[in-house]
Every structure is written in C-alpha cells, then in structure tokens.
C-alpha cells in the first residue's frame, strides 16, 4: 500500500486574546466540511509529558519563576515530545495538524527585549523543529488593549505571561509582526480586530492560497 501524502502543518500565533483558540476550532470545522480531518493541539503541551511541562512553565509552583533561558529549554523539551509523539505521526498518516502556538511563540516570549538571544533560540529551533517546519503560520494581530479586553471577558486565571504589563504585550505584538514581515513565504498576518467570521474568512483565503483548493472529496 502506498503511504498517504503527508498532511499539512498549520500553526496559529499571536498575543494573548487575539483569537487563536477560536479560529482553531472554526478551521477544524471548515476543513471537516471539505472532508479533511484536522487534529487540533496546542503548545506548550499536546502530550501528557508536554502538558506537565506547560503547567510548570505557565504556573510555576509557589512564588517561583524560571529564567527566560530555563523557560526556553523547558518549552523546547515539551516541543520535542509533542513533535515525536503527536505531530510527526499525524502528518505522516496524512492528517492535517492545527497547532495553537508553536516555535514562533518561543522566539517571541523568550526573546522579547533580548531576554534570550535570537542566536540561541534559532539554534534550538533548528535542532528541535528540524524538518517539521509549519507549512503555514497564521499570525493574529490586534491592538493590545482590544485583545486583553477580550481575554479578560473570557475569564479564567491569568498565567505568568498574561499578568505582565502593557509594554510587554506591545513588544510581543511587534515581535510577531516582525516575524510575519521577515518570513512572508511561511507566515500570513491577519487583522484579528475584525469580527470572528471575517478573521476565519481571511484565514481560509490564506489556506487556499497556500495549498490550492482545499477539498478532499472526490
Ligand atoms: N474576532 C473576534 N472578535 C470578537 N471576539 C473574539 C474574536 N475572536 C475571539 N473572540 C473572543 O475573545 C476571547 C479570546 O479569544 P480566544 O480564547 O480564542 O483567544 P486566544 O488567542 O486563544 O487567547 P489565549 O492567548 O488566552 O489562549 C474569547 O472570549 C473569544 O470568544
Ligand atoms: Mg487560546
């Protein structure tokens, strides 16, 4: 039997509350309507071990905190497990994978304001991600105040990154836009201040532009 064609790997990136999780489920549904099975997953996380690391990084025990380099190593350790146990097998089986945050978030969150040098972060990325680079990265971009309002309205306990000040979130937004500008072949910047249906349509256009007409049905 021929092995199936490798699936597509789509990552969703952007700051807190920009609508990544909302878009992920909409895209999964739209792909299913076209007969394409897309698995949804997230980072840090996506496997039992990686989710344990997620809990440690996002909500460190007690009043503890990790240094940016320690965070970078932990999220990359989680990513190795996620890639090995989940993402690569799914793609090899011909499934699409839509991942809520991936390596760009590490570049941004651990690299903001030079916390960890981009040389170190990119070197780690080369070893960890290797050939499994996303086929398409959708970067959701919205004014920080709007995204944080939406995030607050959603409720839930804020994690270590969400409690940081406006300047941090502004730097995060700029760093994501910068990645989109530098890697236009992989990344599409999407205006996430629009209504959710418009955001989904823009994302769908980007998917169609990258992969051609998306339809697995005969
Ligand atoms: N385009 C949109 N317009 C208005 N509200 C939106 C839009 N997209 C998402 N929302 C709402 O904003 C809130 C945050 O969205 P969502 O949880 O999808 O963001 P996120 O990027 O996944 O956030 P986080 O970084 O915290 O995981 C949710 O209540 C969601 O329903
Ligand atoms: Mg989310």
Per-residue pLDDT tens over the stretch 10-66: 999 999 999 999 999 999 999 999 999 999 999 999 999 999 999 999 999 888 889
CA dihedral for 123, 126, 128, 134, sign (positive or negative) = positive
Write out pLDDT tens, residues 79-98: 999 999 999 999 999 999 99
Residue pair 126/78 in contact by the 8 Å Cβ criterion:
no
d(CA 21, CA 182): 25
Q: Does 3.30.300.30 match the CATH number of domain 9-211?
A: no
Atom of ligand 1 nearest to the CA of 12: 21
Per the structure block, which two tokens stand in for 116? 């960890």
What is the Rg, in whole angstroms, of the alpha carbon atoms belonging to the chain? 17
Return the pLDDT at 66: 92
Distance 93 CA to ligand 2 centre (A): 26
Distance 218 CA to ligand 2 centre (A): 34
Whether 153 shows a pLDDT value over 70: the answer reads yes
- In this prediction the pTM is 0.95
Residue nearest to atom 2 of ligand 1 (CA): 196
Atom of ligand 1 nearest to the CA of 196: 1
Return the pLDDT at 161: 81
Return the pLDDT at 218: 52
Whether 215 shows a pLDDT value over 90: the answer reads no
Burial class of 9 by CB neighbour count within 10 A (0 to 12, 13 to 18, 19+) = buried
User: CB under 6 Å to ligand 1: residues?
Assistant: 16-22, 150-151, 153-154, 192, 194-196, 199
Name the residue of 11, 21, 22, 156 whose CB sits within 8 Å of the most ligand 1 atoms, as the mutation to test its pocket: 22
Distance 86 CA to ligand 1 centre (A): 25
Q: Which of 74, 41, 39 is nearest to 60 (CA)?
A: 74
d(CA 106, CA 215): 32
Return the pLDDT at 216: 62
**Is-cis flag, bond preceding 44, omega within 30?**
yes
Write out pLDDT tens, residues 154-202: 888 878 887 888 999 999 999 999 999 999 999 999 999 999 999 999 9
């Amino acid at each position: 039997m021929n092995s199936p064609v490798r699936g597509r790997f789509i990552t969703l990136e952007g700051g807190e509350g920009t609508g990544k999780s909302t878009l992920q489920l909409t895209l999964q549904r739209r792909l299913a309507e076209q007969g394409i099975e897309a698995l949804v997953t997230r980072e840090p996380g996506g496997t039992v071990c990686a989710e344990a690391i997620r809990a440690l990084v996002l909500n460190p025990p007690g009043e503890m905190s990790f240094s940016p380099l320690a965070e970078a190593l932990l999220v990359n350790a989680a990513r190795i497990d996620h890639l090995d146990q989940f993402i690569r097998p799914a793609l090899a089986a011909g499934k699409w994978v839509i991942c809520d945050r991936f390596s760009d978030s590490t570049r941004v969150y651990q690299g903001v304001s030079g916390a960890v040098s981009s040389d170190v972060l990119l070197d780690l990325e080369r070893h960890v991600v290797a050939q499994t680079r996303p086929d398409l990265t959708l970067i959701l971009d919205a004014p920080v105040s709007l995204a944080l309002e939406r995030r607050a309205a959603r409720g839930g306990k804020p994690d270590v990154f969400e409690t940081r000040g406006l300047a941090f979130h502004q730097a995060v937004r700029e760093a994501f836009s910068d990645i989109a500008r530098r890697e236009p072949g992989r990344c599409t910047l999407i205006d996430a201040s629009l209504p959710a249906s418009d955001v989904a349509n823009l994302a769908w256009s980007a998917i169609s532009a990258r992969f051609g007409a998306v339809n697995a049905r005969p």
